């Protein structure tokens, strides 16, 4: 069986060089432009192995290449993106200048998001996702979803959700289901926030060789892993809130992941093998080696409403004109 699996994997990689990117495909890319973070989540799968951050001119060059290659959605992630608030703001603004219809999204832990940043750059953001695995303070401490200021992550979520509502930004919640929270019932706070939360992504804790698993990893996430059955139980418990679940198989190879050097990361072998940078070889050649599975992307619901205009959320200026 192992030999057969290796043959299948080889064929998929070989065919991927010809089929992974079609003339009609609209790209959805996750750009992890930095790896540093102020939280220490024990299962983090994109850890602070380097403090490298490209200059804004280089990033703009890469973003322009992506837009020319039919980029439909760009998601800025980390690390923690708001550790570089000016750079992040410049990037989201530039994206909308390149293509007003381009969906611009951010994934953050929320701790560094300020009202002043939202006042200046919120209009350039379609969706803002906050990572929160529990509404219980102690559980978040055990997970590592906390910084030196020991913030209550539930309060962080409430604060950012309100800012998104005020600025017409779609608010999204991301939750990693793991050994510390899989038995939790988050319904009470979800009920409170349900008018604001437009999408709730629920992930099964995932091991990535060299990131949170193995000799070269900065995390040891094995202790946080759960079974598929435990994950499904969590999803079923919260079915009234329409979670969008992604188990380990759903996640595998279904993301275009761009690292801090603008290299796509191929995860076919359970680790992150970088391609050459799109700045050096262009988007099409880099994508051919990315290992991306378009059908898996579709199966996990990667195609959904990406624009804030699809949700008809009034922004702060519109709200001021309401009587």
Catalytic residue among 41, 95, 164, 205: 41
Six token digits for residue 78: 């980390």
Six token digits for residue 56: 């804004």
**Which residues, in sequence order, are CB contacts of 149 under 8 Å at separation 6+?**
111
Active site (annotated) includes residue 95: no
In 3D, which of 204, 185, 257 has the Cα closest to residue 43?
A: 204
Query: What are the backbone dihedrals phi and psi of residue 24, each rounded to the nearest 5 degrees, phi first?
Result: -100, -5
Kindly report the number of other CB atoms within 10 A of residue 128's CB atom. Answer: 24
Catalytic residue among 37, 95, 164, 267: 37
In 3D, which of 77, 24, 110 has the Cα closest to residue 256?
A: 77
Rounded CA-CA distance 81/69 in Å is 24
- For tokens 């708001």, what's the residue? 82
Six token digits for residue 151: 């913030």
Active site (annotated) includes residue 44: yes
**Which residues, in sequence order, are CB contacts of 100 under 8 Å at separation 6+?**
none
Active site (annotated) includes residue 132: no
* Sign of the torsion formed by the C-alpha atoms of 42, 47, 49 and 55: negative
Rounded CA-CA distance 102/117 in Å is 20
Catalytic annotation, residues = 37, 41, 44
């Amino acid at each position: 069986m192992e030999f057969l699996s290796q043959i299948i994997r080889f064929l998929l990689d070989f065919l991927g060089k010809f089929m992974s990117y079609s003339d009609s495909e609209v790209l959805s890319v996750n750009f992890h432009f930095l790896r540093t973070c102020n939280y220490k989540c024990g299962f983090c799968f994109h850890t602070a192995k380097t403090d490298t951050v490209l200059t804004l001119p280089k990033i703009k060059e890469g973003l322009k290449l992506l837009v020319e290659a039919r980029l439909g959605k760009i998601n800025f992630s980390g690390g923690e993106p708001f550790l570089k608030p000016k750079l992040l703001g410049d990037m989201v603004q530039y994206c909308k200048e390149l293509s007003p219809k381009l969906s611009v999204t951010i994934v953050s832990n929320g701790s560094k998001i300020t009202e002043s940043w939202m006042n200046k750059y919120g209009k350039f953001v379609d969706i803002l996702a906050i990572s929160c695995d529990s509404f219980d303070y102690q559980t978040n401490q055990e997970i590592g979803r906390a910084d030196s200021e020991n913030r209550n992550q539930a309060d962080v979520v409430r604060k950012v959700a309100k800012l998104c509502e005020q600025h017409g930004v779609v608010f999204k919640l991301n939750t990693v289901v793991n050994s510390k929270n899989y038995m939790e019932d988050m319904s009470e706070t979800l009920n409170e926030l349900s008018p604001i939360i437009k999408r709730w992504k629920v992930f099964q804790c995932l091991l990535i060789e060299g990131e949170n698993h193995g000799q070269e990893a900065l995390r040891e996430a094995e202790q946080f892993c759960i079974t598929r059955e435990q994950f499904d139980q969590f999803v079923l418990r919260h079915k009234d809130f329409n979670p969008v679940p992604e188990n380990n198989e759903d996640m595998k190879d279904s993301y275009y992941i761009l690292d801090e050097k603008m290299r796509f990361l191929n995860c076919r072998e359970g680790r992150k093998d970088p391609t050459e940078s799109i700045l050096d070889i262009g988007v099409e050649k880099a994508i051919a080696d990315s290992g991306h599975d378009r059908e898996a992307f579709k199966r996990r619901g990667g195609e959904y409403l990406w624009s804030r205009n699809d949700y008809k959320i009034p922004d702060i200026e519109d709200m001021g004109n309401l009587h």
